[in-house]
Amino acid sequence: MKQVLVVGAGSVGGFFGAHLAKNNPNVSFLLRTRTCDVIKQKGLTIRSAGGSFTVRPPVASDPREFPKPDLIVLGVKAYDLDHVIDQLEPVLTDDTVILTLQNGIDTEDRILARLNRDCVVGGVAYIYSKIAEPGVIDHYKKGAVAIGELMGMESQRLLKIRELFASADISCQLSRDIRRAKWEKMCWNCVFNPITVLIDDHVAKALDHPEMTGVIRQIVGEVAAVSATLKVPLPLDMPERVVKATQEIRDIHTSMYDDWKAGRPTEIDYLNGFVVERGRKLGIPTPVNEALTAMIKTITEKEQVGPGRIRIEGAVVQPVSLDRAAIAALPKEYQLDVSTVMPGMKGRGIRLKGLLDVPALAIGADHVAFHAWDGKYSACLTLQQAKEYGVLVYELAGSALPEANGGPFRLVTPGLGDLCANVKQVARIEVTRGPGRDTRQTTCPPAHS
């Protein structure tokens, strides 16, 4: 296996790839453009308590710039897998081997389903490291891998990979049951990755509370029930093994915690979310993992923005963002058939009083400005005018109000007379103390135009 391509230079790919590249000029890196540019200029640095070093391997954002690889080491997140395989397919040969070092269970099966040939060696990484900045990895604990054929045999390619890692001073253990090794790590990941986010702290805080013992047992029990049904039975004392293995790494956070704090997506869908999804298909209840998945998504996923949402902000205690479904779920007393107040305009709307009752308005708030999506047009009404006359149209014939009709959200003010406001493509409702921005002309165009 002469030509080695490492995909990703994060906390896992960066660490192992740098060690592989230290004394091997045939190790290259496939990277995102930003990381690629940084490593071209400064190299890839590993900082460890036992010593630091920098390597300057060949890097590119297009794998076609390299010789065709004999071995690909995947060090990317599980959610990037499909995109990465799209990139790699043009350079794969019949002899290319792919080593997976992702969290989760189904990476290997996803690759096999895409490529439809026996090209995958399963791997499990045991390491605690972080991305300090692009091109710089801080390594704290461990730094070993277990690898194995999915069918359990000891193949020549497996021995060659072990030799490659051993030549780079990386501990590489052969596993005769790599699927079980992945499920055992899955148990740990499903416990401590989400819990460290929920408690906003390192794993010791969870270990030190006896009440968590039962929770850990329930999480692992659900994971083990799913794995057993998939013909990968785990030891009956798996919860105790998870806790015991964590005692010597009490001070760490987790990759999910680090991703959350850095504003990156988490792998919750490929950990607890995967257990929930498979549990549903298999008829196995997984309520604790389901709760963890929902809570992590709620905590870590950024507020959605875009033309399908409207944001109420400004002089409010807390800004809120709503989509069409959230608006439709507001009390029926505020919902109306727009044709009842605007003949010729058929659709569904909500009186602004109901919408403005959602956020707690700041003391002294007395005006409301409605801003179009492009930021060029806005209209301001007094709070009283908005609540008495304002209607936000959000639906036409049971579907989202089309952009051609001023959607997805359109303000009309039937009954307000010459002061009327007609704002198409409303994206932002700004509550103000005193008048807000108003770009209206002196006359108001017909609401159905």
Whether residues 191 and 120 share a domain: the answer is no
Q: Are residues 317 and 276 both part of a single domain?
A: no
- With respect to residue 444, please indicate whether it lies within any of the assigned structural domains: no
Q: Assess if residue 439 is contained within a domain.
A: no
The pLDDT of residue 419: 67
Selected residue with higher pLDDT from 421 and 413: 413
Q: How far apart are CA 64 and CA 41, in angstroms?
A: 21
Note whether 207 and 351 are same-domain residues. Answer: no
**What is this structure's pTM?**
0.78
Q: Let me know whether 190 and 291 are in one domain.
A: yes
Reply yes or no on whether the pLDDT at 421 is more than 90. Answer: no
Domain encompassing residue 249: 182-300
Residue 159 shares a structural domain with residue 188: no
Residue the block writes with tokens 């995947």: 74
| Cβ within 8 Å of residue 363, ≥6 positions away | none
Phi, psi of 19 (to 5 degrees): -65, -40
What CATH number is given to the structural domain containing 116? 3.40.50.720
Residues of the chain with pLDDT > 90, as a percent, come to 86
Residues 155 and 219 occupy one common structural domain: no
Residues 169 and 235 in one domain: no
- Extract the tokens encoding 30: 């496939």
448 lies in some domain: no
Of 440, 437, 448, 436, the closest CA to residue 391 belongs to 448
Q: Which of 88, 96, 100, 91 is nearest to 119 (CA)?
A: 96
- Cβ atoms within 10 Å, residue 398: 7
pLDDT tens sequence across 26-60 = 999 999 999 999 999 999 999 998 899 999 999 99
Say if 438 falls within a structural domain.
Answer: no
| 349 plus 334 within the same structural domain | yes
pLDDT of residue 131 exceeding 50: yes
Provide the mean pLDDT of the chain: 93
Please tell me whether residues 332 and 396 are part of one structural domain.
yes
**Measured between alpha carbons, how far is residue 404 from residues 72, 90, 139, 394, 448 in Å?**
49, 42, 55, 13, 11
Helix residue ranges per DSSP H, 262-366: 272-282, 287-300, 324-328, 352-356
The count of structural domains within the chain is: 3
- Given a cut of 70, is residue 444 above it in pLDDT? no
37 and 100 co-located in one domain: yes
Separation between Cα atoms, residue 152 and residue 276, nearest integer Å: 27
**pLDDT greater at residue 47 or residue 302:** 47
Mean pLDDT of 110-138: 95
**Are 335 and 422 members of one domain?**
yes
Q: What is the CA radius of gyration of the chain?
A: 28
